[in-house]
Structure 1
Amino acid sequence: MDDGTNERIDETTRRALLAALGGSGIAATDGCSTMLETSSGPRFRLGTLRPPITLDPITAKSIGSEQVIGRVFDGLYEYDDGTDTVPKIAAGEPQFENDGRAAVVELDDSARFQNDRAVVADDVVYSYSAPLEEDAPTAWRVSPFDSVEAVDERTVRFSLEEPYPALDHALTQPIVPRQEREDDREAFATEPVGAGPFEVASFSAEKTATLRRWDDYWGDPIPGIDRLTVAYVEFPMTQLTSLRTNRNDAIEPVSPMIVDHVSDVANASVKRRHGYTSFYFGFNLNQGPTTDPRVREAISYCLDLEKAVADFVEPMGQRQYSPLPPGVASDWDMPTDEWADLANETNPERARQLFREADEASGQLRILTSTDPKHKEFGEALAGGLRDASHGALVVSKPESTFLERYVSGSERDYSVFVGEISGTPDPDSHLYPTFHENMAGVTNGTFYREDAVMERLTAARETENRERRRRLYEAAITRLLEDRVCLPICSFEHSFAVAADVQNFRVHPIARVNPRLAAGDEVVTVGSES
């Protein structure tokens, strides 16, 4: 029976928020548009917890970078309002040859880059070959292609040795101009030239990216926003303050701490959608104490993940028991109940026993996180559980760029455990291959797990069109990953934005890198005045 405690806590939280933001009555805001008008149109400013690090589509591996890149670059295909793809730089649907082992794509004659150069087949070939040649974080997306070749200036052929059921997702890769990037890769990462609707006006890594609408954009629709600024904001409370004071016109993601109070303190509403982003604890199986399975099992007894998710995630996400978000696991009819049974309940005494058996009772485990508040909360919760089990723990939180380098170093000096984030598509390959396959170790895989049977299944699953066979391969691979304690799945997290009331047509996409979507189909985000 509810004793009213939650209501009192919520009211206390609300009063604290109101006080922190300048007193009660804040919901009655200034009333005028929060947008700054220019001669060309409105400006839109987004305060994000996910800072952009690079603007080079080849080397990007963070959501914050990919979200900005998606406004500057177009792919051959793009996502519709859901997860189906539609032509963008491509003139139409791919034409299949050789029993489906080759896809031929014609380019739109009008497609051009922001320096007014036409997009040609050689640029497409380069965009799919460079990730492999540079061992880049995006290599996993293009590695299934046996070859990508220019048939002529406006035609590209993608050839496969084996079927690739995630082909439609691979064909959304941003198209990069070969010569312009090769002239100066370092400069290109901060001042790139794309074929998308926005140009880069200024960029400061891990701080701010400001984009201006390319008024000569060759495609449709033309955005209604003249200038987009994506600015890093370190804390959820600071985000909310920025929304209240009109510093930002939207914030993302919306923290569970503030979600119920957005309408109380700002003239804004929360827009959210289930997506394909999840969190997990990854173990270093390359060096250090966590190479011992007894240590990994001991750690699994140190944290009540149900409580952690309830405290730090709900109602903006939910507990998950595998590397697949609940929506993907459900669509693929995965045995989530069986996987849930593999998750251990908190048992400090059992953890202490296992630490002693592994002769790891007096060491200190390094827990690596980014500065994202959710990452830090999970890291601190695990550290507290380890201390309850009489084991030393140190949480090391690093800026995003440093974290992305260190969590894949495999060095015990950097981490025993890290808080990882997976952002994929409805296809399981996007969650499993880059995160756990040995081909991506040291690039996007920080676990360095090398079990041949699992690697073979992950490879085979991306090479067969039979959905049921793929399902069985993924089920077996995931079960082994969980049994070997390669990772501890934590939760999925919804994609969410708190958006000012005078912003129209803002819609959240289920694939993280597609957000913020300012123009798609027949709709563009526009700004009106309530004054």
Structure 2
Amino acid sequence: MPRSAKDITRRRLLASGAAASAAAIAGCIGGSSGDETVLLFTQSKGWGYGFDPVVSNGVPSTQINDQIYEGLYTYNEDATSSLVPVLADGEPEISDDGTTWTVTIKDGATFQNGDDVTAEDVKYSYEAPVDEETENAGELNMIESIETVDDKTVEFNLKYPYAAFNTTLIWNIVSKSEREGGDDFGHNPVGSGPFQWVEWEEGQYVLLERWDDYWGEQTPDLERVEFDFVTEQSTRVTGLETGESDIIETIPPQLWEDVKGMDSASIESTLGIGYFYLAFNCNEGPTADPQVREAVDYAFSMDDAVESFVEPAGVRQYSPFPQSIVDSWDFSTDEWEAIPHNRDVDQATQLFEDAGISMDYEWNIIVPPDDMREAIGESVSNGLKEVGFNNVTFERLEWGTFLDLYNTGNEDDYNMYTLGWSGSPDPEAFTYYLFAQEQEGVTNGTFYRNDEVDQQIIDAREDPDKESRREMYIDATNTILEDRVHLPAYNLYNSYGVSNSVSNFQSHPDSGTIPLLADYANVGLE
């Protein structure tokens, strides 16, 4: 029978890890009638900064925000460079050698408070992250100015012909009047999307409901959707098996076959536009020496680590670029795949000695609260110990603490860290934010100072010619990998365990996109 919105929140017991069996919880929430049905979507991580897209970032918040807000455009089903108009009425008009982009807003597009979506709202949504100096400002720093031609026409004037600006046009649009006049907009959001805010409980759940007056051509089949998060992997899988969750995010590798074999659920997955890596502090400490970074590469096997701790939930990756970008940009990966060393403790030991690193040096490796990234960090730690180092600190930190430390460039905070990045389907997303010097201390925690590489990254960002950009990205990546600024590790499938009671759900290459309602999907719940 349908589960009700009233009863569904009792499952907070499961999310909070209360000492109750899944079967007992299931007995508490079992069928009720007369209430709206609720799809429970269990995420793998918490939400961070709330649900105001001006300031919030991170995949978990984006997955929820994209149900409430809309952009001028969105990704298509395959997340290629072709975008689908949402608030925009057709394709953008591009002029002035690619530095002026003009977009018209659809008549009838409205916010959930009944107000029309206007050019002023669009202008505000793009300017506020920069004006307020948020962490999102770097994603919009190619914009020189924004003009409102009329109520329904907005003109973006760029500092240079930024080739990837089409991907910037997916930015969520907020209501200026609601955000400036409302109380705690991040927890009382108003957007133009097909689902509207109901309530939330911090660290527990977010409840959305279908906006019955949605202005778009389709209406969601779902009446309500509740997001919670469970970081413990086996608990998420147990929740799917017992019916506590309708969809769970991220199937852990060690439980992949278990989920695959469930009679009551299946796996939906597609390779993401992502990149996971081990990064070095090139600013201070021994890892500022490329010879030491090469020694670390010899001290352990990234191939073995990925095979043991990531597959089949992900694949080995040898560059910052996910396979979709490699294919669409015709990057030849043979040279990149040959750069990592096989494990050779003797060679590692010799390189450390040549670099003058004492066996008493106190290494510090930090990782976020993620089992796979932790396994990569621990593999490095074990490799250093096998070389003969006596003091290797390996720390799994909570997200807030990790994010405060990984980009300081201070030797006392870290020598190495493991992290991941989810970007747009353009190489710029995996070079500028991770390696450009102007992103140091923001999204770049390496502090790698190679002016030639830095200029190639900036020039490729500002060059409208794809072939010219391609050559610059190849040259820059060759140097970055040879210098071992990162040791690329893997990419994950965007994988979900989906109950048989759910219809029309599919995984999307962009990890922030959960297509509950799209031109190719309208998720339902029996």
Corresponding residue for 2:75? 79
TM-score normalised according to structure 2 size: 0.89
Taking a change above 3 Å as real, the CA distance of residues 201 and 446 of structure 1, as seen in their structure-2 partners, is: farther
In 1, Cα distance between the equivalents of 2:392 and 2:462?
42
- 1:58 and 2:54 aligned: yes
Contact 1:78 1:85 in 2 (8 A): yes
Contact 2:118 2:152 in 1 (8 A): yes
Taking a change above 3 Å as real, the CA distance of residues 121 and 261 of structure 1, as seen in their structure-2 partners, is: same
For 1:423-502, list aligned pairs within 5 A: 423-502=422-501
For 1:182-193, list aligned pairs within 5 A: 182-183=180-181, 187-193=184-190
Q: Which amino acid aligns with 1:173?
A: W
In 2, Cα distance between the equivalents of 1:257 and 1:75?
37
- 1:177 Cα shift? 2.4
Contact 1:367 1:383 in 2 (8 A): yes
Corresponding residue for 2:171? 173
TM-score normalised according to structure 1 size: 0.88
Contact 1:41 1:224 in 2 (8 A): no
Taking a change above 3 Å as real, the CA distance of residues 302 and 521 of structure 1, as seen in their structure-2 partners, is: same
What SS does the aligned partner of 2:71 have? coil
In 2, Cα distance between the equivalents of 1:242 and 1:228?
16
Taking a change above 3 Å as real, the CA distance of residues 370 and 203 of structure 1, as seen in their structure-2 partners, is: farther
Contact 2:515 2:521 in 1 (8 A): no
In the comparison of the two structures, how many residue pairs are matched?
499
What SS does the aligned partner of 2:266 have? strand
Tell me whether 126-135 or 255-264 shows the greater mean CA deviation.
Answer: 126-135
In 2, Cα distance between the equivalents of 1:86 and 1:36?
39
- 1:328 and 2:325 aligned: yes
Q: Which amino acid aligns with 1:47?
A: T
Corresponding residue for 1:523? 521
Taking a change above 3 Å as real, the CA distance of residues 409 and 179 of structure 1, as seen in their structure-2 partners, is: farther
What SS does the aligned partner of 1:258 have? helix
- 1:522 Cα shift? 5.7
Contact 1:52 1:68 in 2 (8 A): no
In 2, Cα distance between the equivalents of 1:197 and 1:501?
24
Q: Which amino acid aligns with 1:472?
A: E
| Post-superposition CA distance 1:88-146 (Å, at most 9, x none) | 11122212233443111111232222232222212211222222334433333322222
What SS does the aligned partner of 1:210 have? strand
Corresponding residue for 2:40? 45
Q: Which amino acid aligns with 1:61?
A: N
Tell me whether 141-150 or 484-493 shows the greater mean CA deviation.
Answer: 141-150
Contact 1:42 1:224 in 2 (8 A): no
- 1:168 Cα shift? 1.5
Corresponding residue for 2:288? 291
Taking a change above 3 Å as real, the CA distance of residues 210 and 363 of structure 1, as seen in their structure-2 partners, is: farther
In 2, Cα distance between the equivalents of 1:442 and 1:94?
34
In 1, Cα distance between the equivalents of 2:142 and 2:30?
44
Corresponding residue for 2:10? none
In 2, Cα distance between the equivalents of 1:182 and 1:252?
34
- 1:158 Cα shift? 1.0
Taking a change above 3 Å as real, the CA distance of residues 350 and 504 of structure 1, as seen in their structure-2 partners, is: same
What SS does the aligned partner of 1:294 have? helix
Taking a change above 3 Å as real, the CA distance of residues 234 and 364 of structure 1, as seen in their structure-2 partners, is: same
What SS does the aligned partner of 1:495 have? strand
Counterpart of 1:103 (choices 101, 113, 116) is 101
| Post-superposition CA distance 1:454-508 (Å, at most 9, x none) | 1111111122222111111001111111122111100111111110001110011
For 1:119-518, list aligned pairs within 5 A: 119-183=117-181, 187-204=184-201, 206-265=203-262, 267-356=264-353, 357-391=355-389, 392-514=391-513, 516-518=514-516
Contact 1:47 1:230 in 2 (8 A): yes
In 2, Cα distance between the equivalents of 1:175 and 1:298?
47
Counting aligned pairs with the same residue, the percent is: 35
Q: Which amino acid aligns with 1:502?
A: S
Tell me whether 149-158 or 204-213 shows the greater mean CA deviation.
Answer: 204-213
- 1:343 Cα shift? 0.7
In 2, Cα distance between the equivalents of 1:441 and 1:182?
31
What SS does the aligned partner of 1:103 have? strand
- 1:22 Cα shift? 9.8
Taking a change above 3 Å as real, the CA distance of residues 414 and 266 of structure 1, as seen in their structure-2 partners, is: farther
In 2, Cα distance between the equivalents of 1:499 and 1:484?
42
Taking a change above 3 Å as real, the CA distance of residues 22 and 56 of structure 1, as seen in their structure-2 partners, is: closer
RMSD, matched Cα:
2.5
Q: Which amino acid aligns with 2:39?
A: F
| Post-superposition CA distance 1:55-94 (Å, at most 9, x none) | 1212333111211111111001112212221111112221
| Post-superposition CA distance 1:298-348 (Å, at most 9, x none) | 211122111111111112221111111133223322231111221111122
What SS does the aligned partner of 2:443 have? coil
Q: Which amino acid aligns with 2:488?
A: P
Corresponding residue for 1:17? none
Corresponding residue for 1:70? 66
Runs of 4+ deviating beyond 6 Å: 34-38
Contact 1:506 1:517 in 2 (8 A): yes
What SS does the aligned partner of 1:449 have? coil
Corresponding residue for 2:9? none
Corresponding residue for 1:5? none
Q: Which amino acid aligns with 2:226?
A: T
In 1, Cα distance between the equivalents of 2:519 and 2:400?
34
Contact 1:76 1:171 in 2 (8 A): yes
What SS does the aligned partner of 1:480 have? helix
| Post-superposition CA distance 1:15-45 (Å, at most 9, x none) | xxxxxx999xx9xxx9x9x997775742111
In 1, Cα distance between the equivalents of 2:182 and 2:364?
38
In 2, Cα distance between the equivalents of 1:359 and 1:393?
13
- 1:359 Cα shift? 2.6
Taking a change above 3 Å as real, the CA distance of residues 350 and 70 of structure 1, as seen in their structure-2 partners, is: same
Taking a change above 3 Å as real, the CA distance of residues 134 and 481 of structure 1, as seen in their structure-2 partners, is: farther
Taking a change above 3 Å as real, the CA distance of residues 161 and 264 of structure 1, as seen in their structure-2 partners, is: closer
| Post-superposition CA distance 1:373-420 (Å, at most 9, x none) | 212121212211111112232221122233233222323333211111
